[in-house]
Amino acid sequence: MTLDTARHGPLEDLNLPLSPQFRASLEPFAQRFVLRGEAALLAPLAAAFGVAPPAGPLSSASTGTRSALWLGPDEWLLIAEDCPPGLEEAIAAALDGVFHSLVDVSHRQAAVMLAGPQAQEALGFGVALDLDLPAFPVGMVARTMFVKAEITLWRRGERNWRIEFARSFAGYVRELLLEAARGF
């Protein structure tokens, strides 16, 4: 299977909030897989993907351009920003004989990075979670709602957040971010 990594993204021609206090930027295309299975897949996946998926709840693991996000007790979101050819086949071969489900969601998803001193407050506009650093530390991942859009929220740094969402919600997420930015 060949991935079209030059595909036009859902937000590429749309303005996103940009100010000294809060900025949003579209993340480049990445390969994404939803992986489900039991603990027996952790070691072979780590060898094939280059990152051992986290076993603990609400956590993430990253090495270079690869990340694994814990979504549930037997579910992970794998992100490969380097988009190497044959990655899906390599993972499937490594997991041969291990009960699992591997689904390519690369073209279904989009992501926005939020950064700046007011990024947390902008997220608080539509996310009903405690986003303070002690409650939501760097590396934490949670599936939640951004008003009415289902998102995967990942704290990448003290003032940096990655929001993963379905491409069909791109315009809606953009409007929410613009509305949140109006307060700054």
Residue 4 lies inside a defined structural domain of this protein: no
**Mean pLDDT over the full length of the chain:** 91
Given a contact cutoff of 8 angstroms between Cβ atoms, the answer to whether 156 and 164 are in contact is no
Residue 159 lies inside a defined structural domain of this protein: yes
Residue with tokens 């969601």: 105
Distance CA 97, CA 122 (A): 45
Tally of domains within the chain: 1
Residue 141 lies inside a defined structural domain of this protein: yes
Question: What residues form DSSP beta bridges with 62?
Answer: 67
Q: Kindly indicate the confidence band of residue 18, based on its pLDDT and cuts at 50, 70 and 90.
A: confident
Distance CA 73, CA 75 (A): 6
Residue 1 lies inside a defined structural domain of this protein: no
Q: What is the pLDDT of residue 13?
A: 58
Share of the chain above pLDDT 90, in %: 78
Is the pLDDT reported for residue 134 higher than 90?
A: yes
Q: What's this model's pTM, rounded to 2 decimal places?
A: 0.90
Distance CA 164, CA 170 (A): 10
Residue 16 lies inside a defined structural domain of this protein: no
Residue 7 lies inside a defined structural domain of this protein: no
Supply the Cα-derived Rg of the chain in whole angstroms.
16
Range of the domain at 99: 23-181
Given a contact cutoff of 8 angstroms between Cβ atoms, the answer to whether 66 and 76 are in contact is no
- CATH number at 51 reads 3.30.1360.120
pLDDT in tens, 78-103: 999 999 999 999 999 999 999 999 99
Q: What is the pLDDT of residue 1?
A: 45
Q: Kindly indicate the confidence band of residue 183, based on its pLDDT and cuts at 50, 70 and 90.
A: confident
DSSP 1: -
Burial pattern 19-36, b for ≥16 Cβ within 10 A else e, equals eeebbbebbebbbbbbbb
Residue 171 lies inside a defined structural domain of this protein: yes
Residue 116 lies inside a defined structural domain of this protein: yes
